[in-house]
Structure 1
Amino acid sequence: MKKFEADVEKDRDLSIVRLSGELDANTAVSADDALQSAITKDCKGLVIDCSELEYISSAGLGVVLATMHACNHNSIKLAFFGLQPKIMNVFSILGVEKIVSIASTEEEACKLVGGS
């Protein structure tokens, strides 16, 4: 089991948050802090890298939904990429993939949110 990490990278008006490990009740606050720090007033697009995310709980999904709401409220385009099959399955069951952009690669996700 990998320790949870949420790293934020900024590239002009695009933010990339790389999530790794397990996103659950114990790590939801640090994930939320990282995601909220990525949503700045000059941010036009947010890309969330889930390629190293091994698990997501209902608390983690709450963080994802809060981030989606914050992006909508601030007119920021949001895309996920690199979802592991079991996390993609959770997104599918809950219908999240119908309301958010999900890409296979970082490049594709950046294009979806208007980055280079």
Structure 2
Amino acid sequence: MTDDREASGDGRERPDSAADRRGRRAGSTPAGDGDKGRATAVRDGRPAKASLPSRVVRFLREVVAELRKVIWPTRNQLITYTIVVLVFVSFMVALVALLDLVFAQGVTYLFGT
């Protein structure tokens, strides 16, 4: 029986953490693509701001990239989730209304009107 940390048959070590599995190491960027992930350029040790249009374009590009990662619910899932939310909200409204009524009666009993 082999230990999980021993080298596998192909000569590579098994990653110890999720970061290792993604290939992240100290000093590297998440995607390992050099300076591509940096928000601003650096000149003379000071960060230089990118122009507003380039920042807006980059933001929109990143929004589209994130929306492509979303797993959208099917119609049946959407209907089910909507019903669950409506039932839960109805229950909470009824609970708060009941507690309000009980506390109002208690205050009336204690202090009178």
TM-score computed with the length of structure 1 as normaliser? 0.22
TM-score normalised per structure 2: 0.23
Structure with the bigger percentage of strand: 1
Larger CA Rg, structure 1 vs 2: 2
Q: As a proportion of its length, which structure holds more helix?
A: 2
